[in-house]
Each structure stands twice: as structure tokens, then as C-alpha cells.
């Protein structure tokens, strides 16, 4: 695609005629190889100027997309284009700019909703996935306090009720539930992992009980890159009438995701991990649920009528979008989505699977390196967590940085999982569509030299 | 010397392995002691450090913890150096070390004052690692306060 990539105008001059954009792309991809390859990726990389820079005098090898992705120039040019031509507050004011800005804003919602298989009114903009998860827990907390009337009773929690999460969760899908449990008296339980970090699905059936009101779990582990068996967990929840909350932070950027197919009630996702700008993420929720939930943040733009005593609220999505919104960011995120669709999510996923295998296999052959996570064969995205015996991850990361290789070190906001794996912290290399096999080889070469540099294992 | 080699000077790597003061020591009956637990929330590194005071004299420094070579070496250097010093002498060293860590690579370590601690000058060029080097010193400062309590 390269220069053919959308140049900041997608969904604006030419509003999409087909709201279900995702169904339009596969036809154009039938002729393309099943996955990306190094040649195609090297063309794509031209769209990401930052990938051309050097660090510490050597070319950058960016393998930290699990933390945040780099962005193609069309994404930030879309923001600039918006500010240069259309900037106005949306959903208020009758002047031309306000109308055009509102169209762009809502078109972005349509595009992103289409990308995850949702309807337009089922995607709420949030600052990030963390806010999306907090939106749910605070709304449920409000329902538990009696707000929202009869319709909201289904979301109320009290002593005796259970919230179930998993030991895989990063802190964003754990702490909001801890807090909700504390506020309502509900009990927080979790499905544990085994020593390798695989979810104990054999125990899940007895942990999810008729008292379970919510089952919240990650689609892809941010540490291990492993893909959760969503259908099995959704079936357990449905069986007992519990609501399901999927954390899509690490899946939506890397895998084709369809919320209707997954049959979850809610899904949180993050914009900046999928080529979009920081400051925007989203929450998917079934329309009938969102419209019955009490609001989280309140204020302007989310009401129908207000007196000095009380207010009536709009339906979703505006019900949950108080105050001036992230307009240019929404537009830029839609541009990112259109970029991903043009490349093709299936092809991205297949490529990253190959890169992931190359990383995991390569790391596994380096003396003194232990790859974390389940044995080969488990479904994983291009994420490789590992420890180097005798060298702390912080030192590993520092050494790799001196070779231009950017990885994440630490506990990756998942302390409980690290405890379960028997380590305090780890090093994580994570790929995206713009990584080449040479990137992986540079990582492997650098990791091979770590123990020698620190004088370990001689 | 590359920035990386300045960061990981041999003296630091040696201390990271030798770890003077590693293993918490109970204070004998009648000896004042103070303790502090410090975390680096970024990486999960942590240290629990205990100081025994005899009057105003630092009698013993011991610690347990887990962390990178910079944080472990720093705790080792501190423990080795602090023992036998007057509390005020130790505070002078601590202030000097902190100034060095804040210098962003603009200062050379003063070996007269810092001893092996001067080898940490290269750390100040890596702002993300300054916290690692400071972890045990912050713990020592708090432990001294607690011992005086």
C-alpha cells in the first residue's frame, strides 16, 4: 500500500457507503498472499517514519508494540487535517464546521464499530481501555447504589454476589474489579494459571457459579501473548447468567475480532496499541445493556433534559460521553483502522504468528534463556516473554537498548501473573505488522550476547 | 568507553555479585535499629534495609531484596561503606551520591567522598536507572530516621 495509504481523509470527503467496512476488504485480498512477507513489510515501513531512526548509533529495532504501537504518518496527518479544516465542538452548534466535525466524529465511530463487528451505537469513546473498564465498574457501582432505577437492577452487586477474573489479567482488568467488590461487598474470585501460565480451564467450571454476576477476562495475555478460549468462558458465564467483559487491548490490534461472533457483552480496547493516537480507546457494549446502565461520567452532551434537581440521560453512546470529546483522535483512530483493513487483519495475524514462532524458537535455543508461557502449540500472538538466568530483566533491556532493540522490561502491569510464574519481572519482545524477520534476528543476536557481557554463565 | 560500559563498570558488576550486607541481621538486645522497605513500582524491584545504631555510630547495615545489578550493587556499596561511620558522615555521603545521580552525566564521582560509589557516575546518564541506584540509599535514609525514632 505505501503511498496509497489513506492520507487523512478517510470517511470524510467520501463517507463510507458500506458501513460494514470489514466485509469489503477480503475481496480485494483474495489475490494477496495469505500473510505479509519481508518485502511487503519493508514497503509498509516507509509509512512509519520513526522506524527509520537510530538509537545509540544503531538502527532502531522496535519490539515493544505490546506497550504502544508506532503510527503510520496518515494517522497523525489525519489529526492535522482535521484541525486545519474541520475543527469544532461536536453535537452542539449549528454552524457548518460543527456539522462537518460531527459527521467526521460519527463516521469514525461507524468505521471503528465496523472493524470489531459492532453496531454504531454500541461503541463508546473513552480515553483508553483502562477508562473503558472503569466505566463498566463505576456504572455497576452506581447501579449497586440504587441509581438507574429498575432497569439498572441487573447490574447491581451486593454481598453474596461474585465477580470472577483470571490470574492472567493486567492491572487494568483487575483493580477496577477489586474496587467494585470493595464498594459493593461482592466477592472477587479468579481462575488461576498453572506454572506455565496457562489458564486452569479445568477449574473454571467450579469457580464460575450461579452467584457469579460478572466474568471479566483478557482475550490475549499482555505478558504471554496467549489467546484465551473465549467461547468456553462465555459458555460458562451464559450458563449462570453472568455478564461477560472481554479485555481486547492485545487482541484487537493483532487479530481479526468480531464481538458478535465472540458473543461477549462488553469489550474494552485501546487506540494507541493499534496504530491510533494516544488519548482514545473504546468500550463495546450490547446496546440494550448500555442503555439500561447508569452513567459513569456526567455533565454536558449526555442529557435530554435538566432541571436544578435532576437530569434525564440520552441513550448510548452519548449517555457515556460527557463533555467535549476526543474528536481528532477518533478520526485518527478510524484512519488507523482503515490502514489495518487495507493490509488485512488475517494477513497481519498470520505474519505475526510467524514472527512469534521465530522469536520463541530462537530464544529457546539460546543457553541460559528461559521462555515463559505454555509449551509450543498454544495459540499466541507475536509476543515473547523471557528471562535470562543470572541477569535481571532491567539489565537485559538496557543491554538490548545499546543494540537499538527496544523491548519492555519489568512486571508489565501484571504482578500477580509474574508471581504465579515464579519471577518478579521479565523481558518481553512484542511484534506488529511492521516488524521483519531481520528485527527478530537482531533481537536473538543481542540476547545471545547478554550473559557474556554481564560475565554470567562462564 | 561506551555509555553502556560506563553504566556497567566492573566494580558495579562485582558488587552486584558479592553483595555486601545481603541477608537481614537481627539487632542485638539494647541496640537501636531502624528498617525501611522501598519499592520501585516500575519494575517491581524491592529492598528491605536495616541499620543498627550505637549512639550516633552506624554499627551494621543489612538488607534483603531483589533487583537489577545497579540496585543490588548500590546496596552492596552502601553497606560496605556505611559501617563504622558517624551518622552525619554517612549523610554527607548520601547527599553527595544523590547529587551525582541527579547530574545527568555532568559530574564525575568524587572518589574521596564516595569510594566505590563514584563508579555509579555513569548511571546518571540513564534517567530510567537512577531510581535503581537510589533505592537502597532512600531506604537507608528512612531506616536512620526510624532508628532515631
Give B-chain residues touching A397 at CB under 8 angstroms. none
Give A-chain residues touching B2 at CB under 8 angstroms. 402
Residue A425 CA to residue A413 CA, distance in Å, equals 10
- Say whether residue A399 is in contact with chain B using an 8 A CB cutoff: yes
SS3 B95: helix
Give A-chain residues touching B45 at CB under 8 angstroms. 394, 424-425
Strands A61-62 and A405-406: parallel
Q: Which helix (H) or strand (E) holds A198?
A: none
CA–CA min distance A36, chain B (Å): 34
- Going by C-beta distance under 8 Å and a sequence separation of 6 or more, which residues neighbour residue A296? A134, A135, A138, A139, A142, A320
Does residue A126 carry a pLDDT above 50? Answer: yes
As a whole number, mean pLDDT of residues A296-315 equals 93
CA–CA min distance B44, chain A (Å): 6
Residue A214 CA to residue A236 CA, distance in Å, equals 11
Reported as a single tens digit per residue, the pLDDT across A136-176 is: 999 999 999 999 999 999 999 999 999 999 999 999 999 99
- Say whether residue A396 is in contact with chain B using an 8 A CB cutoff: no
With CB atoms and an 8 Å threshold, state whether A398 touches B129.
yes
Q: What are phi and psi of A20, to 5 degrees?
A: -90, 70
Q: How many CB atoms lie within 10 A of CB A291?
A: 16
With CB atoms and an 8 Å threshold, state whether B43 touches A453.
no
With CB atoms and an 8 Å threshold, state whether A399 touches B4.
yes
Nearest CA in chain A to B11: A454
With CB atoms and an 8 Å threshold, state whether B43 touches A394.
yes
Does residue A6 carry a pLDDT above 60? Answer: no
Q: How far is CA B2 from CA A57, B5, B9, B125, in A?
A: 11, 5, 10, 12
Does residue A99 carry a pLDDT above 80? Answer: yes
SS3 A221: coil
Q: Which helix (H) or strand (E) holds A364?
A: helix A345-364
As a whole number, mean pLDDT of residues B65-71 equals 94
Residue B134 CA to residue B140 CA, distance in Å, equals 10
With CB atoms and an 8 Å threshold, state whether B3 touches A455.
no
CA–CA min distance B68, chain A (Å): 5
With CB atoms and an 8 Å threshold, state whether A410 touches B43.
yes
- Say whether residue B25 is in contact with chain A using an 8 A CB cutoff: no
pLDDT of residue B44: 76
B-contacting residues in A 354-393 (Cβ below 8 Å): 391-393
Q: Which helix (H) or strand (E) holds A366?
A: none
Global pTM reads 0.90
**For residue A457, what is the DSSP state?**
-
Q: How many CB atoms lie within 10 A of CB A454?
A: 21
As a whole number, mean pLDDT of residues A432-453 equals 98
Please count the residues of chain B.
149
Which residue in A15, A20, A72 sits closest to A43, CA to CA? A72
**For residue A193, what is the DSSP state?**
B
pLDDT of residue A413: 86
Nearest CA in chain A to B8: A454
**For residue A324, what is the DSSP state?**
S
Q: Grade residue A27 by pLDDT with cuts at 50, 70 and 90.
A: very low
Q: Grade residue A32 by pLDDT with cuts at 50, 70 and 90.
A: confident
With CB atoms and an 8 Å threshold, state whether A398 touches B126.
yes
Q: Which helix (H) or strand (E) holds A225?
A: none
Which residue in A122, A405, A416 sits closest to A258, CA to CA? A122
> Which alpha helices (H) appear in chain B, and where do they start and end?
3-7, 10-18, 69-82, 87-101, 111-114, 127-148
pLDDT of residue B29: 86
Does residue A9 carry a pLDDT above 60? Answer: no
Bridge partners (DSSP) listed for residue A406: A62
pLDDT of residue B138: 97
Please count the residues of chain A.
458
CA–CA min distance B90, chain A (Å): 28
Assembly ipTM: 0.91
- Say whether residue A453 is in contact with chain B using an 8 A CB cutoff: yes
Q: Grade residue A19 by pLDDT with cuts at 50, 70 and 90.
A: very low
Q: How many CB atoms lie within 10 A of CB A112?
A: 28
As a whole number, mean pLDDT of residues A259-276 equals 98
- Say whether residue A451 is in contact with chain B using an 8 A CB cutoff: no
Q: How far is CA A205 from CA A29, A167, A209, A266, A270, in A?
A: 40, 15, 8, 21, 30
With CB atoms and an 8 Å threshold, state whether B69 touches A392.
yes
Closest by Cβ to A454, choosing from B43, B69, B132: B69
Give B-chain residues touching A455 at CB under 8 angstroms. 13
Residue A407 CA to residue A329 CA, distance in Å, equals 26
Give A-chain residues touching B43 at CB under 8 angstroms. 393-394, 409-411, 425
Does residue B69 carry a pLDDT above 90? Answer: yes
With CB atoms and an 8 Å threshold, state whether B67 touches A392.
yes
Give B-chain residues touching A58 at CB under 8 angstroms. none
Percentage of chain A exceeding pLDDT 90:
86
As a whole number, mean pLDDT of residues A357-371 equals 97
* A contact test, residue of B10, B15, B43 with most A CBs within 10 A: B43
Does residue A13 carry a pLDDT above 60? Answer: no
pLDDT of residue A458: 63
Does residue A28 carry a pLDDT above 60? Answer: no
Reported as a single tens digit per residue, the pLDDT across B113-139 is: 999 999 999 999 999 899 999 999 999
Does residue A2 carry a pLDDT above 50? Answer: no
Q: Grade residue B149 by pLDDT with cuts at 50, 70 and 90.
A: low
Angle, helix A21-29 to helix A345-364, in steps of 10 degrees: 70
- Contact predicate A436/A42, CB 8 Å: yes
Q: Which residues of A are catalytic?
A: 413
With CB atoms and an 8 Å threshold, state whether A395 touches B69.
yes
Q: Grade residue A375 by pLDDT with cuts at 50, 70 and 90.
A: confident
Q: Is the sign of the CA dihedral A273, A274, A279, A285 positive or negative?
A: negative
pLDDT of residue B14: 94
Residue A406 CA to residue A387 CA, distance in Å, equals 16
Does residue A217 carry a pLDDT above 70? Answer: yes
Q: How far is CA B67 from CA A380, B19, B135, in A?
A: 29, 12, 10
Residue A405 CA to residue A440 CA, distance in Å, equals 10
- Contact predicate B90/B51, CB 8 Å: no
- Going by C-beta distance under 8 Å and a sequence separation of 6 or more, which residues neighbour residue A295? A139, A142, A302, A313, A319, A320, A322
- Contact predicate A408/B44, CB 8 Å: no
Reported as a single tens digit per residue, the pLDDT across A384-428 is: 999 999 999 999 999 999 999 999 998 888 889 999 998 889 999
CA–CA min distance B69, chain A (Å): 7
Amino acid at each position: 500500500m505505501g503511498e496509497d495509504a489513506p492520507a487523512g481523509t478517510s470517511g470524510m470527503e467520501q463517507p463510507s457507503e458500506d458501513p460494514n467496512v470489514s466485509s469489503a476488504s477480503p475481496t480485494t485480498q483474495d489475490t494477496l498472499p495469505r500473510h505479509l512477507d519481508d518485502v511487503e513489510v519493508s514497503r509498509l515501513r516507509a509509512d512509519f517514519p520513526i522506524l527509520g531512526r537510530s538509537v545509540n548509533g544503531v538502527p532502531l529495532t522496535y519490539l515493544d508494540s505490546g506497550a504502544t504501537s508506532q503510527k503510520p504518518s496518515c494517522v497523525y496527518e489525519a489529526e492535522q487535517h482535521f484541525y486545519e479544516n474541520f475543527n469544532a465542538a461536536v453535537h452542539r452548534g449549528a454552524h457548518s464546521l460543527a456539522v462537518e466535525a460531527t459527521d467526521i466524529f460519527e463516521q469514525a465511530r461507524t468505521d471503528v464499530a465496523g472493524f470489531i463487528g459492532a453496531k454504531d451505537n454500541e461503541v463508546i469513546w473513552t480515553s483508553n481501555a483502562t477508562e473503558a473498564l472503569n466505566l463498566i465498574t463505576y456504572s455497576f457501582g452506581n447501579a449497586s447504589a440504587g441509581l438507574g432505577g429498575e432497569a439498572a437492577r441487573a447490574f447491581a452487586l451486593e454481598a453474596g454476589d461474585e465477580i470472577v477474573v483470571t490470574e492472567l489479567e493486567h492491572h487494568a482488568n483487575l483493580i477496577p474489579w477489586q474496587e467494585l467488590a470493595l464498594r459493593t461487598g461482592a466477592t472477587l474470585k479468579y481462575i488461576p494459571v498453572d506454572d506455565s501460565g496457562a489458564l486452569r480451564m479445568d477449574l473454571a467450571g467450579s469457580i464460575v457459579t450461579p452467584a457469579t454476576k460478572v466474568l471479566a477476562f483478557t482475550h490475549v495475555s499482555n505478558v504471554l501473548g496467549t489467546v484465551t478460549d473465549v467461547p468456553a468462558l462465555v459458555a460458562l458465564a451464559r450458563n449462570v447468567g453472568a455478564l461477560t467483559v472481554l479485555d481486547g487491548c492485545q487482541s484487537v490490534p493483532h487479530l481479526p475480532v468480531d464481538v458478535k461472533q465472540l458473543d461477549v457483552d462488553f469489550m474494552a480496547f485501546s487506540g494507541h496499541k493499534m496504530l491510533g493516537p494516544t488519548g482514545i480507546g473504546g468500550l463495546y457494549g450490547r446496546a440494550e445493556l448500555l442503555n439500561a446502565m447508569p452513567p459513569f461520567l456526567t455533565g454536558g452532551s449526555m442529557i435530554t433534559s435538566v432541571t436544578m434537581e435532576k437530569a434525564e440521560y440520552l441513550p448510548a453512546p452519548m449517555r457515556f460521553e460527557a463533555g467535549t470529546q476526543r474528536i481528532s483522535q477518533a478520526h485518527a483512530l478510524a484512519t488507523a483502522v482503515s490502514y489495518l483493513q487495507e493490509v488485512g487483519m488475517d494477513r497481519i495475524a498470520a505474519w505475526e504468528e510467524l514472527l512469534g514462532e521465530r522469536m520463541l524458537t530462537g530464544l529457546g535455543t539460546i543457553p541460559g534463556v528461559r521462555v515463559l508461557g505454555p509449551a509450543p502449540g498454544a495459540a499466541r500472538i507475536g509476543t515473547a516473554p523471557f528471562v535470562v538466568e543470572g541477569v535481571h530483566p532491567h539489565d537485559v533491556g538496557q543491554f538490548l537498548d545499546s543494540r537499538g532493540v527496544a523491548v519492555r522490561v519489568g512486571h508489565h502491569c501484571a504482578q500477580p501473573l509474574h508471581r504465579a510464574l515464579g519471577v518478579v519481572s521479565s523481558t518481553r519482545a512484542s511484534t506488529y505488522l511492521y516488524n521483519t524477520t531481520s528485527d527478530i534476528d537482531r533481537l536473538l543476536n543481542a540476547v545471545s550476547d547478554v550473559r557474556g557481557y554481564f560475565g554470567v554463565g562462564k | 568507553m561506551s555509555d553502556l560500559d560506563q553504566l556497567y563498570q566492573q566494580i558495579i558488576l562485582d558488587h552486584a555479585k558479592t553483595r555486601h550486607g545481603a541477608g537481614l541481621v537481627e539487632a542485638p538486645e539494647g541496640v537501636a535499629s531502624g528498617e525501611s522497605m522501598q519499592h520501585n513500582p516500575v519494575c517491581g524491584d524491592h529492598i528491605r534495609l536495616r541499620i543498627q545504631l550505637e549512639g550516633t555510630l552506624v554499627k551494621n547495615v543489612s538488607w534483603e531484596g531483589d533487583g537489577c545489578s545497579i540496585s543490588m550493587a548500590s546496596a552492596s556499596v552502601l553497606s560496605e561503606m556505611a559501617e563504622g561511620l558517624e551518622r552525619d558522615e554517612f549523610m554527607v555521603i548520601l547527599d553527595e551520591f544523590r547529587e551525582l545521580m541527579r547530574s545527568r552525566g555532568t559530574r564525575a564521582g568524587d572518589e574521596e567522598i564516595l569510594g566505590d560509589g563514584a563508579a555509579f557516575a555513569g548511571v546518571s546518564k540513564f534517567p530510567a536507572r537512577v531510581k535503581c541506584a537510589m533505592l537502597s540509599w532512600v531506604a537507608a535514609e528512612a531506616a536512620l530516621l526510624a532508628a532515631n525514632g
